[in-house]
Amino acid sequence: MQQSRLFTILPEHVSTPDGMAIDNEGNLILACPNYADPTLPGCILKIDEHKRIRKWVDVPVSEETGHAFPMGIAFGPDGDLYICDNQGWSGAPELVFKGRILRLRIRDDRVVNTTVVAHGMEHPNGMRIHRDQLYVTHSMLSPVKDPSGLLVSCVYRFGLDDENIAITNTLEDPNILTTFLTHNLEIQYGADGIEFDKAGNLYVGNFGDGAVHKITFRDNGTVKENTVWAKDPQQLKSTDGMIIDAEGNIYIADFCANAVAKVAPNGTVTRIAQSPDSDGLNGELDQPGEPIIWRGKLIVTCFDLVTGPQMVNTQHEMPATLAELDPR
């Protein structure tokens, strides 16, 4: 396994980094929900090729809750930024089912237009845009009571121009593409990382099961099959954010194990880096949340917040960090 390195230390107005994307100028864009310090506004950072970091925008807060917590992000074909505003992850009871999908038009470092694509969501998390449609992992559908007693989660699919869709977090929602059950009773947390391959197949990480599902489609866009495609408990404990490279390898943040795994195109899982509990200041993987391939390196956000018996991480520390690896 390789040793991760420090990519950068983040400024003091960031306590929790999460989702990433690359803009049309090649800058690295970072979403910061800042769950570790709710006094800090949820914001979006821009990192240029020289690793210069600046706050791009604060994410417009919900008029109802006064908060915004940006997690997964993706750019649309027109340059608008789509955001998973995961209010419920904050743990505040009054914010459960207040999550939103936002579309921001940003010009000259200002948000000039905000569209609420969907609202009322329990746990919007990861996001990808594919063929002019928006795919969002929804990590919990608590109102849905499966006969097994297991957690149900799902992927929602929206049109890029959808507005003000009211989500019920039940199987009655017409935008649900496919659902998942999480079988690991110790970690009842579902759909998280999301990615497409060149052929248009969808891959979704079932966090608690440490499994990657492969979803294939019929010609009319409906789901043909949703199966567990990759799973190896010795190499991959949990599946947070993921990214695919040009050869079809998928890199996955193993949130629980402070590790990153690679899944080859044949579904073989290999852990490529792992760190002990740390503050991340020497480049350790301090609870990795999402990877992205940027300028030839695998950049990984260090979420560094969740603790418990299933986690290597034991506490939150400041400053927040990003780590890097070689994608190999």
Q: How far is it, in rounded angstroms, from Cα 2 to Cα 166? A: 45
Mean pLDDT of 131-155: 97
Supply the pTM of this predicted model.
0.98
Tokens 């579904």 identify what position?
267
The per-residue pLDDT for range 154-200, each reduced to its tens digit, is 999 999 999 999 999 999 999 999 999 999 999 999 999 999 999 99
Q: State the distance between the two ends of the chain, measured CA to CA, in whole angstroms.
A: 10
Neighbour-count burial for 57-86, b at 16+ CB within 10 Å, e otherwise: bbbbebeebebbbbbbbbeeeeebbbbbbb
Question: Which residue type sits at 67?
Answer: H
The strand order across the sheet containing 223-231 reads: 191-196, 202-206, 211-217, 223-231
Q: How far is it, in rounded angstroms, from Cα 120 to Cα 167? A: 5
Inform me whether the pLDDT recorded for 328 exceeds 90: no
State how beta strands 297-302 and 288-294 pair: antiparallel
Strand partners, 270: 262
Q: What is the pLDDT of residue 201?
A: 98
Q: Structural domains in the chain?
A: 5-325 (2.120.10.30)
Average pLDDT, whole number, for the chain? Answer: 97
CA atoms within 13 Å, Cβ hemisphere of 173: 27
